[in-house]
Amino acid sequence: MAMRHITYRDVIICCMAILISGILGAHPVQSAEPPLPYSKELGSLKLTVPTDKLIRKQLGIKAKSGQFGIADLRPGIIIIEIFNMYCPHCQKYAPTVNELHRLIQSNPKLKVKVLLLGIGVGNSPFEVNIFRKKYAVAFPLFDDKNYAISNLMHGLLTPHFIGLKVDGKGGYCVFYSKDGGFSNPKAFLDEMLKLSETACGGK
């Protein structure tokens, strides 16, 4: 059987295949980019008001239906996890994020100061509910089947965490925004608390 000589065209095709495979399969846990301030972009994000009265109370939402924005959330520190139910890294870090929520809820002072919620980018309510049940998520989760948040925050990878400070007067600021999960919930929470101290002018 005659051996086929490798041509320049073969090399190009091979390189392109590897490149495309890498792009499609890549889902880095940590971004090399510094945190980006998405205050303006998040201002136009709208989420559906939960039907559960207790969740609305937890969020500080007075409306019983319709949509709400970030500035409508109760005053304090808001930690948002951007996830996707099919994202292997989101699945991997689900127990760690649950532990973060447990730490917040077990501290009487933090319980009323820090709010954790998740947004399932590209996920329908049905898919978000599957993720909630499978990983026993106790904090509020919202669907974003139309990719609204990823359209606002270009280049976003999942999981992605955002730290905000809401003043309860229609204002807020973003003090943290980074791709990737975390292995130590206590250290992550401490970092969020520390960064929030100087956010929004230290107010």
In the prediction, which pLDDT does 10 show?
46
Domains of the chain, first to last: 30-202 (3.40.30.10)
User: pLDDT: is 60 or 5 the higher one?
Assistant: 60
> Among 171, 188, 1, which residue's Cα sits nearest to residue 73?
171
pLDDT at residue 200 greater than cutoff 60: yes
Phi then psi for residue 199, to 5 deg, are -75, 150
Q: Per residue in 116-157, pLDDT tens?
A: 999 999 999 999 999 999 999 999 999 999 998 888 887 789
Say how far residue 31 (Cα) sits from the centre of its chain: 14
CA 13/CA 79 separation, integer angstroms: 44
Q: Is the pLDDT of residue 203 over 60?
A: no
**At residue 107, what is the residue type?**
N
Residue burial 109-130, b: 16+ Cβ < 10 Å; e: rest: ebeeebbbbbbbbbbeeebbbe
Other CB atoms within a 10 A radius of the CB of residue 85 amount to: 24
- Going by pLDDT thresholds of 50, 70 and 90, the confidence category of residue 70 is confident
Q: Give the per-residue pLDDT at 21.
A: 35
Residue 191: other Cβ atoms inside 10 A: 14
> Rg of the chain over CA atoms, in angstroms?
20
Say if CB 94 and CB 59 are below 8 A apart: no
Distance from C-alpha of 47 to C-alpha of 125, rounded to nearest angstrom: 12
> What token pair was written down for 161?
């965490």
DSSP of 26-77, one letter per residue? ---SS-SSPP---HHHHTT--EEPPS-HHHHHHHT---SSSEE-GGGSPSEE
Nearest residue to 33 via CA among 165, 192, 160:
160
DSSP 106-149: TSHHHHTTEEEEEEEET--HHHHHHHHHHTT--S-EEEETT-HH
In this structure, which long-range contacts are made by residues 58-66, counting pairs with CB atoms below 8 Å and at least 24 apart in sequence? 58/115, 58/140, 59/115, 59/117, 59/140, 60/168
| Predicted TM-score (pTM) of this structure | 0.79
